[in-house]
Structure 1
Amino acid sequence: MLQNMKKYIYILVGLLLAFIILFNVMNFGSVIANIAQKTDVPTFDYPGSRIMIVAPHPDDESIGAAGVIREALKMHIPVKVVIFTSGESYKRAAINFSKRLHPTNEDFYRLGVQRQKESIDAMETLGLPRKDLIFLGFADGSLRFLWDDFWNTPRRSGGVWVYRSPYKVNVYRPGIEYTGQNVFDAFSSVVNSFKPTDIFYPDPNDTNPDHWAVSNFVVYTILQQKYHIREHTYLVHHPQWPVPWMAVTTLDENPPVDLKWERWQRFQLSQDEISFKKKALLQYRTQIEIMQPFLMAFVRKSELFGYVPRVSIPLIYKLPSLDVLDKTNDYIAAKSIDGMFSQEIYKSADLGDLRVFRYNDALWVGLTTKAPLSNKVVYQLQMRIFYKDNSIKRLDVGIIKGKLVVYHRASNSITDWNIVNMRKFKRNMWYEIKLPEEEKIDYIFMGSQALYRGRLISRIPWKVYNYNINDEFGDVI
């Protein structure tokens, strides 16, 4: 009897511990919240007069916007689909496709060719002519690094493990080297040629590095070229979202609970569009064979699109007490993405929010963390500075082992250490930055990230900040 009672106690304790782990470490609470959420989201029914769909990998164009593509083509609206990579580095798909536990470089290449064909078939299913589908041919899994570190220098990338695109057909510029500058040049060339009125691209809050990097490249291009384009962002990867993982055509796509502050709209789909979206998704056989439930989770009666508004940086006249600002909500301009397992393990690398204001002819940027700062974590603040004369400079600063570092990552990097002053506190750090020719700055495109042992743990998504607008209060999220 006593032995049985002990057994039940152990079982109860085990179940309790499992529940605590699910609810906290795995953020099971967000799953429940996302399922239960009922959000009032406005709708729109006109996708634009010339639309461009931008995708990181073959299948994202259908996941995010197959309904929009189908409706636009029925309305005889010009559509251009641009896919940045061929998705060849996805190891799980390569193993399944090649039937080898350790795929070769050739296997990864063949997977890329196959995934291009799947996108061609899917777009044909929706009615898109082959000439309106463009593959840029950059390496799957590389785009974050091209954005961050390899703007001018080629990076050996992808499962094929080469410095340039190996595809001789189907791609926009065969043999193009893997650099950030080349990504920008190729994409801006396509945009200049097509001249879209509306562009649909990955949301900056997407947790897949290729997705948020593509988002950054799109925004960078829009700012650099001074395009006047309506922007619509779509989400694919986000913690505990979407739910449930199955096709439910009676449900709308709802925004994740932690992104309710973003401006969202729904594009309602007809039964024809729902049916064709499902048919298009089924063309991606290499993906269907390994993650069909996830793909089917995007077969809904609507497609969800966001817009991240630009933030005006407030101008203040009295410096607040920086050491206690993390205990307030003052000057918060952006928040980190929560719910990743790694964030629960490496708390000191779990960023909280980004705060910003202008004071005494300087830009002040603060980063908070969920746990005390650690010398084992590298904290980075990155910005692209757009001037009124159309020139661009970049500033990349970091804290390594507690000391300030200014990175030289591109030919237009600002490397003058004297313009940056850093102050550290228990759970936050502040940068006082005297930007060159401050009065000529138009926008700052800025984000932050924290790395532990070279691994990206958390980040604060990039946003556009209006600089020389004398707003004493700024925008609050």
Structure 2
Amino acid sequence: MRLKKPRKWKRLTSLLVLVVLLAAFVNGWYWLPTGSLTLHQVKAAAAALPEMKPLSGRVLFVSPHPDDETLAAGGILQDVMERGGQVYVVFLTSGDGFEWDARATTRELSVSHADMLRLGLQRMNEARAATRALGIPASHVYFLGFPDQGLTPIYLQNYLVPYTSLHTGVNRVPYAGTLAPGKPYTGKELDRQLSAVYDLVKPEIVLAPSAQDGHPDHRTAAYLASRLASQRGEKLYFYLVHGGLEWPLPKGLHEGLPLAPPRPTSQGLKWQRYPVTAPQRARQIKAIQAYKSQLVVIPRFMWAFVRQNELLLPAPAEGSPIPPADLGK
């Protein structure tokens, strides 16, 4: 028995070392050798990207969830307004499918449909505060109230028959303050409402999620936005929020570092750097602070987007839409 004790401690020590190394890889801890390598790779990858020309005019940001606008383009949206342009944001869902968020806010392991609906209202209010912190007028912010984690089945399987959210238990828009309260969760209605926002805003430029994003809601939003752009002729740029478990690196607040994409090219196109100034980052930080429910659960992920630059990917000139078959991948 005495011989087995050292072996047991050796196994535990080995496991602890593996856990620390994995955490260092995922978080990019700069004070470890792995973190130093991460910093070098991020700086080199960002420096190799072309710098993007500033945007101006009427810009519409298509946001699958409350917080995507602040994380992916908090600096860009400010820059557009500082140059005399107008910024609009449309939130497709109210973020009412993130159960760990609800557990953190209710401090209960088990959450009900009513808890998730309250979370949706909370995240809508957080989005109002965040966009206000960025300087976006309240009249330029639209909420559709479709279900978080439900956009793909709605569009591919429930185009005509209402979809019931697995998280809230409802099959129609339940929130006041949305574009069309009470309307059914169908792909046809989602199409109609997003088209109505385009008609109201008349954007010259649309910022939409990348089809390479890891979240299915984002991929569906990418298809919707690219299809509308191909029909209407708006200039389209893609952004990225969910680039994989290890992205963006390093985790946490690193204002002095650039942001590099997980892959420099996507579908044959190269990502571009959009510079962000120190005052713009300061307002972006205030906007992130408005998302209190998110900061309880994923703070280091949220802060990792406050960098010297943000990233955009120009869509192909022909604006061809993403095939629907790619949405479920």
* TM-score bucket (shorter structure): 0.7 to 0.9
- Higher relative contact order by CA 8 Å / sep ≥ 6: 1 or 2? 2
**1:73–1:48: structure 2 CA closer, same or farther, 3 Å change rule?**
closer
Which residue of 2 is the match for residue 78 of structure 1?
Answer: 86
**Deviation for aligned residue 1:10:** 6.2
CA distances 1:90-132 after superposition (whole Å, capped 9, x unpaired) = 1001111222221222111111111111111111111111110
Matched-pair contact (CA < 8 Å) for 2:159–2:188: yes
Per residue, is there more strand in 1 or in 2? 1
Matched-pair contact (CA < 8 Å) for 1:263–1:308: no
Distance 1:300 1:61 in 2: 15
CA distances 1:167-217 after superposition (whole Å, capped 9, x unpaired) = 1x2101111111111111110111122111111111110101111111111
Matched-pair contact (CA < 8 Å) for 1:270–1:301: yes
Residue in structure 2 matching 1:185, options 179, 186, 192: 192
Matched-pair contact (CA < 8 Å) for 2:227–2:320: no
The one-letter code matched in structure 2 to 1:172 is L
Instruction: Please state if 1:124 is matched with 2:132.
Output: yes
Residue in structure 2 matching 1:295, options 302, 310, 314: 302
Instruction: Please state if 1:245 is matched with 2:251.
Output: yes
Which residue of 2 is the match for residue 255 of structure 1?
Answer: 261
The one-letter code matched in structure 2 to 1:97 is T
The one-letter code matched in structure 2 to 1:274 is R
Distance 2:294 2:229 in 1: 31
Matched-pair contact (CA < 8 Å) for 2:223–2:323: no
Instruction: Please state if 1:229 is matched with 2:216.
Output: no
Distance 1:163 1:45 in 2: 43
Distance 2:132 2:99 in 1: 27
Matched-pair contact (CA < 8 Å) for 2:229–2:235: no
Distance 1:12 1:258 in 2: 39
Distance 1:31 1:201 in 2: 31
**Deviation for aligned residue 1:267:** 1.1
Distance 2:218 2:70 in 1: 14
Which residue of 2 is the match for residue 336 of structure 1?
Answer: none
Matched residue SS, 1:306: strand
Distance 1:262 1:8 in 2: 51
Matched-pair contact (CA < 8 Å) for 2:51–2:273: yes
TM-score scaled by length of structure 2: 0.85
**Deviation for aligned residue 1:158:** 4.4
Q: Give 1:37-116 correspondences, 5 Å limit.
A: 37=42, 38-39=44-45, 40-116=48-124
TM-score scaled by length of structure 1: 0.60
**1:75–1:284: structure 2 CA closer, same or farther, 3 Å change rule?**
same
> Which blocks of at least 5 consecutive residues in structure 1 are unaligned?
312-441, 451-455, 460-477
**Deviation for aligned residue 1:448:** 4.5
The one-letter code matched in structure 2 to 1:235 is L
Matched-pair contact (CA < 8 Å) for 2:257–2:307: yes
CA distances 1:312-365 after superposition (whole Å, capped 9, x unpaired) = xxxxxxxxxxxxxxxxxxxxxxxxxxxxxxxxxxxxxxxxxxxxxxxxxxxxxx
Which residue of 1 is the match for residue 31 of structure 2?
Answer: none
> Which blocks of at least 5 consecutive residues in structure 2 are unaligned?
29-33
Distance 1:203 1:31 in 2: 27
Which residue of 2 is the match for residue 220 of structure 1?
Answer: 227
Which residue of 2 is the match for residue 153 of structure 1?
Answer: 161
Instruction: Please state if 1:285 is matched with 2:292.
Output: yes
**1:33–1:197: structure 2 CA closer, same or farther, 3 Å change rule?**
farther
The one-letter code matched in structure 2 to 1:244 is P
Name the count of aligned residue pairs.
313
Per residue, is there more helix in 1 or in 2? 2
**Deviation for aligned residue 1:11:** 4.6
Distance 1:285 1:134 in 2: 21
**Deviation for aligned residue 1:219:** 1.3
Distance 2:55 2:10 in 1: 57
Matched residue SS, 2:311: strand
Q: Give 1:398-437 correspondences, 5 Å limit.
A: none
**Deviation for aligned residue 1:309:** 3.3
Residue in structure 1 matching 2:201, options 194, 197, 208: 194
Matched residue SS, 1:163: coil
CA RMSD of aligned residues (A): 3.2
Distance 1:290 1:87 in 2: 14
